[in-house]
Amino acid sequence: MRHQFHGIDLKTFVLVRLWLRLNTSGKRKIPVRLWRITLTHWRVIVADPNGRRIREAMHAIRFFHKRPKHAIGDAEVGYGNTWKIQVLLYILALPKERYQVAELKASLLPGIRAIDRRLIRRFCQRNGIRRDVSAGERAGSRKHAFKRRYN
* Claim to verify: residue 64 and residue 114 sit in the same structural domain: no
- Rounded Cα distance between 33 and 88, Å, is 14
* pLDDT tens track for 2-45: 444 556 677 888 888 888 888 888 888 888 888 888 999 999 99
pTM, rounded to two decimals? 0.49
Residue 79 lies in a domain: no
* Count of domains observed in the chain: 2
Residue 84 lies in a domain: no
Residue 81 lies in a domain: no
* Claim to verify: residue 3 and residue 46 sit in the same structural domain: yes
Q: Provide the pLDDT for residue 35.
A: 87
Residue 38 lies in a domain: yes
- Rounded Cα distance between 150 and 6, Å, is 53
* Claim to verify: residue 10 and residue 61 sit in the same structural domain: yes
Q: Provide the pLDDT for residue 142.
A: 56
User: Within 13 A of 18's CA, how many CA atoms are on the CB side?
Assistant: 18
Residue 82 lies in a domain: no
Report phi then psi at 4, rounded to 5.
-115, 155
Residue 47 has pLDDT above 90, yes or no: yes
Query: Which range of residues forms the domain containing residue 130?
Result: 96-151
Confidence of residue 70 (pLDDT cuts 50, 70, 90): low
Residue 83 lies in a domain: no
Residue 89 lies in a domain: no
Confidence of residue 56 (pLDDT cuts 50, 70, 90): confident
Residue 120 lies in a domain: yes
